[in-house]
Every structure is written in C-alpha cells, then in structure tokens.
C-alpha cells in the first residue's frame, strides 16, 4: 500500500547569534532576562512594564474604541481627546519633540530624548493599550479648596507624571494604569526628588495602579532604532483597523522562507497574500505592535539585512 510522505516540519525562524559576549547576551531570547532560581526569603522584584513576559498578543477586545473608559479618576480623557499638560517647544537644538501617535491618533509630546525613546518603544509593546504623557494629578483637598472659592486650581497644586499608560494585566486580563517617571542616566535623587516620587506612587496607588522610575537608557539605542523604523512604516495609517489583517499576515510570514534579507522575506509574504510590498510593510509593523510577531532587538532591523524574530 502506497503512503504519502510525512509533512516536513517548519524550521525555526532566523535565530540571532551575537558575535560578542557581554551586554549583547543579556537576553536569552531578545526580551526575557535569563531564568534564575528564586533565592529563599528574597524580596519580590519591583514591577516593570518592560519586563512583562513574552510572547503576548493584545486581546482583540482591547483594540476596540470602547475598551478604554472615557475619563480617568481625575477627569482627564483617554485616547484621542487627551492633550498633554506640558507641551514641547520648538527652539533651535531642542531635545523636545512632537510625534504622531501609533495606536491612538493624536499628537504626542516628548520633553527629552529619553522620553522620546521610551515612548516609541512602548508604542510597540503588546501589553500597552493607551499611553498618555505629562498627565496631571492633584489632591482632592486642593480641588475642594479651589471649588469652595469658585476658582481654578493653581498650577502649583497640579503634579504631572511623565507617562501614565493602561496595560493589560497578565493575571486578570483587565486594564490597569501604570505610571512611569523618566529620568536621565545620571539621575541622583535628592530628598525633594524622593518626596515627589512617593507622591506619584501614592497617587497611582489610590486608583489601583502601579508606578516605576525608568532611566533614559532602560531601552537600548538599537531597540529604539528598530521601533522607530517600524513607526515610519505605519505612522500615517489607522493601526487598530489593521489588527485582524496583521494577524493573518504574521501567520503567512512565519511560513515563507526566511532566507535572504528582511526585504526578501516581506516580498515573499506579500506575494503569497497577493498584496503590495508597501501594505506588507504596514502589516508587519502592526504585527509587532500587537504581539503577533516579536523582533529580536539584539539585531538591527534593516531592509537589506536578515530578519531575526523571537521563536
């Protein structure tokens, strides 16, 4: 009796092999730190948004327009209606910038190079659904004093937090707020800085959120560059509307040959789906933003270099 040959198994995608030891080997798969046995009675590691486990795909219900509440607990809007309290200026040689957003179509303000890098990387974080910068927080006592006098609150009573994002909690699947304070690499806090950090942390805790301090070098220059390249592919498109198309495209890309350059791989996937190369580029960026594909950020994402994904 004649039998059909067994199906050939799909080989793993390109695996990046660093040429040097050291900082390039910090990640075993491009994202997760090396797994270590927990020490007895060791204190729990503080929560960090950049350390959430991968792979993770943004749930489809979190991409819908009504996934976010219209306003937060302090009355500031979410989504496209939000406007940053502090805005970037445009003097010569300024480190500030204004960028069109990714998952939310509005203008984003960054007040330093460090903030720009972290914001762009978080746009492509699959857990992050909404990101707001320079968000106002205030005490209810200050609010009631102003209301009693029939006046507006004083600007000095309004504290701003660099970033407040809503992410999908991996334990519950619900959205949870998380505050981020971004400081320079050489940040050495004084007593007043520590007091402000405590106020920010307490403010987020009151609404069931968390808080962390990130140094500007928390993301590597290569990861920032890769995410910047992805952003340039899709910055003028409606990213949430491409969610399901990106899901199908990611499956196709994983099945085509990964030989050659990134451009070669995209061309094969585009041909298989009968779409243009430009549209394939759009869908590739959206696939990374929602977690259908994971880039290995130890390698550069360039058109004429190999494409490395985390398998």
Per-residue burial over 68-88, b = 16 or more CB atoms within 10 Å of its CB, e = otherwise: beeebebebebbeebebbeeb
**In angstroms, rounded to a whole number, what is the distance separating the alpha carbons of residues 146 and 97?**
33
Q: Do residues 131 and 165 lie in contact, with contact meaning Cβ atoms separated by under 8 Å?
A: yes
Residue with tokens 């707001």: 132
Say which residue, 21 or 278, is predicted with more confidence. 278
Regarding predicted confidence, which is higher, 152 or 214?
A: 214
pLDDT value at position 23?
A: 43
The answer to whether residue 1 scores a pLDDT higher than 90 is no
Indicate the range of 83-87, 112-116, 243-247, 264-268 predicted with least confidence.
Answer: 83-87
pLDDT (0 to 100) of residue 35: 46
Higher pLDDT, 300 or 134: 300
Mean pLDDT across the chain:
79
**Is 188 in contact with 54 (CB distance < 8 Å)?**
no
Band the pLDDT of 154: cuts 50, 70, 90. Answer: low
pLDDT of 27 higher than 50: no
Would you say residue 7 has pLDDT above 50? Answer: no
Q: Kindly give the pairing relationship between strand 97-100 and strand 107-110.
A: antiparallel
**Ranked by mean pLDDT, which of 12-21, 43-52, 155-164, 172-181 comes out on top?**
172-181
Q: What is the pLDDT of residues 251-287, one digit of tens each?
A: 999 999 999 999 999 999 999 999 999 999 999 999 9
Q: What is the mean pLDDT of residues 140-167?
A: 65
- What are the DSSP E strand ranges found in 116-264? 128-137, 159-168, 175-183, 210-215
What per-residue confidence (pLDDT) applies to 93? 46
Burial class (CB in 10 A: 0-12, 13-18, 19+), 107: middle
pLDDT at 96: 66
Contact 133, 96 (CB under 8 A): no
What are the strands, taking DSSP E only, across 55-209? 97-100, 107-110, 128-137, 159-168, 175-183
Contact 162, 136 (CB under 8 A): no
Average pLDDT estimate for 74-84: 67
**Can you list the domains of the chain with their CATH numbers?**
49-218 (3.40.1350.10), 237-289 (no CATH)
Q: Which two tokens stand for residue 277?
A: 């190369």
Backbone angles phi, psi at 285, to 5 degrees: -60, -40
| Lowest mean pLDDT, pick from 113-117, 193-197, 290-294 | 113-117
Residue 32 has pLDDT above 60, yes or no: no
The beta-strand segments (E) located in 138-174 are 159-168
pLDDT one-digit tens code per residue, 290-305: 999 999 999 999 999 9
Distances (CA, A) of 72 to 90, 196, 309: 30, 21, 36
117 touches 133 (CB < 8 A): no
Percent of the chain with pLDDT over 90: 37
Q: What is the pLDDT of residue 8?
A: 47
CB atoms within 10 A of CB 193: 14
pLDDT above 60: residue 234: yes
**Looking at per-residue confidence, does 158 or 121 come out higher?**
121
pLDDT: which is higher, 37 or 113? 113
Q: How many CB atoms lie within 10 A of CB 301?
A: 21
């Amino acid at each position: 009796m004649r039998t059909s040959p067994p199906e050939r198994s799909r080989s793993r995608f390109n695996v990046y092999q660093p040429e040097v030891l050291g900082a390039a080997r910090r990640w075993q798969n491009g994202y997760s730190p090396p797994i270590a046995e927990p020490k007895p009675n060791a204190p729990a590691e503080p929560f960090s948004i950049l350390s959430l486990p991968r792979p993770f795909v943004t749930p489809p219900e979190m991409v819908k327009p009504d996934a976010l509440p219209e306003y937060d607990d302090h009355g500031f809007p979410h989504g496209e209606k939000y406007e940053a309290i502090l805005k970037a200026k445009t003097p010569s040689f300024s480190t500030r910038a204004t960028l069109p957003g990714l998952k939310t179509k509005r203008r984003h303000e960054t007040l330093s190079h460090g903030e720009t890098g972290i914001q762009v990387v978080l746009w492509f974080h699959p857990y992050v659904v909404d990101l707001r910068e320079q968000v106002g927080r205030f005490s209810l006592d200050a609010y009631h004093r102003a209301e009693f006098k029939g006046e507006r609150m004083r600007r000095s009573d309004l504290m701003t937090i660099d970033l407040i994002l809503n992410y999908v909690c991996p334990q519950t699947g619900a959205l949870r707020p998380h505050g981020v304070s971004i400081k320079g690499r050489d940040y050495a806090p004084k007593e007043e800085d520590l007091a402000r950090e405590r106020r920010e942390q307490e403010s987020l805790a009151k609404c069931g959120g968390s808080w962390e301090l990130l140094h500007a070098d928390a993301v590597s220059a290569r990861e920032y560059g890769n995410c910047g390249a992805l952003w340039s592919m899709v910055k003028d498109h409606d990213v949430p509307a491409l969610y399901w198309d990106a899901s199908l495209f990611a499956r196709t890309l994983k099945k085509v040959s990964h030989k050659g350059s990134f451009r070669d791989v995209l061309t094969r996937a585009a041909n298989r789906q009968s779409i243009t190369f430009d549209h394939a580029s759009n869908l590739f960026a959206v696939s990374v933003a929602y977690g259908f594909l994971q880039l290995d950020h130890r390698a550069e994402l360039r058109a004429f270099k190999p494409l490395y994904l985390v398998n």
